[in-house]
A = this chain, B = another copy of it.
Amino acid sequence: MKLYDTTMAPNPRRVRIYLAEKGIEVPMEQVDLGNMAHKSDAFVKLNPLMRVPVLELDDGTCISESMAICRYFEETQPEPPLFGRDPKEKALVEMWNRRVELNVYNAVAAAFRHGNPGMAEREEQVAGWAEVNQRRAPEMFDFLDASLGDSKYFVGDYFSIADISALITVDFARVIKLRIGEQHKNLARWHADVSGRPSAKA
């Protein structure tokens, strides 16, 4: 088994934090995005969509998409459960993970990929789309703050993959100069908590 990883992007960090929380060690190989190694013939065979991470199993099966990789380990090593402990909690974890990804992560990523001059050779940039998302992303921080309220994590007192997805998103937002504001008291409290877990260094 081997995990193709990069420290240059947020999604692979989700897998590393997840593995640290589970106490799982997997042999890793760094893919040099700066050198376009993810577009090499060898890597395209692992993932035709040319994205990192990829988990290669011993039988040669390649699993891409960071959530799918986490799902694989959740099934092979359930403890501690990070996808929920009963049907309702599993549904709420999936809901919050998707809300974070589809509304917050996607806004941050679009603002970055379409607005950062350094991404021009990797993305067919649309300036207007960067602007819309640069405006939407802080509104989504407001949404996260309001949604948390007094709750410890996104699904009550239960730390889950949804918190990991939110952590990589909030930290990634630095690339579009978006940070937790003074008005985001709940989000700041949550961020201090999850950033203090040893897994956050992964």
> Which residues of A does B touch, CB under 8 Å?
48-49, 55, 57, 61, 63-65, 67-69, 71-72, 75-76, 86-88, 90-92, 94-95, 98-99, 102-103, 124, 126-129, 132, 143, 146-147
Residues on B with beta carbons closer than 8 Å to the beta carbon of A71: 90-91, 94
Q: Is the CB of B128 within 8 A of A132?
A: no
Expressed in whole angstroms, the minimum distance between the Cβ of A139 and any Cβ of chain B is 11
Expressed in whole angstroms, the minimum distance between the Cβ of A77 and any Cβ of chain B is 9
In this complex, the member of A57, A87, A124, A146 whose beta carbon has the largest number of chain B beta carbons within 10 angstroms is A87
- How many copies make up the complex? 2
Residues on B with beta carbons closer than 8 Å to the beta carbon of A132: 124, 126
Q: Is the CB of B143 within 8 A of A48?
A: yes
Of the A-B pairs whose beta carbons lie under 8 Å apart in the complex, a sample of 20, sorted by A's number, is: A49-B99, A49-B103, A55-B91, A61-B92, A63-B88, A63-B91, A63-B92, A63-B95, A64-B95, A64-B99, A65-B94, A65-B99, A67-B98, A68-B91, A68-B94, A71-B90, A72-B88, A126-B128, A126-B129, A126-B132
Given contacts A63-B91, A64-B99, 15 further A-B contacts (CB under 8 A): A48-B143, A55-B91, A57-B88, A63-B88, A65-B99, A67-B94, A68-B94, A68-B98, A69-B91, A71-B90, A71-B91, A75-B86, A75-B90, A124-B132, A126-B128
Q: How far is the CA of A48 from the CA of B61 in the complex (A)?
A: 40
Residues on B with beta carbons closer than 8 Å to the beta carbon of A103: 49
Residue of B nearest to A57 (CB): B88
In this complex, the member of A48, A57, A129 whose beta carbon has the largest number of chain B beta carbons within 10 angstroms is A129
Q: How far is the CA of A110 from the CA of B77 in the complex (A)?
A: 37
Expressed in whole angstroms, the minimum distance between the Cβ of A176 and any Cβ of chain B is 17
Expressed in whole angstroms, the minimum distance between the Cβ of A107 and any Cβ of chain B is 12
Expressed in whole angstroms, the minimum distance between the Cβ of A111 and any Cβ of chain B is 13
Q: How far is the CA of A69 from the CA of B147 in the complex (A)?
A: 19
Expressed in whole angstroms, the minimum distance between the Cβ of A147 and any Cβ of chain B is 7
- Sorted from nearest, which 4 A-B pairs have the closest CB atoms? A75-B87, A72-B91, A68-B95, A68-B94
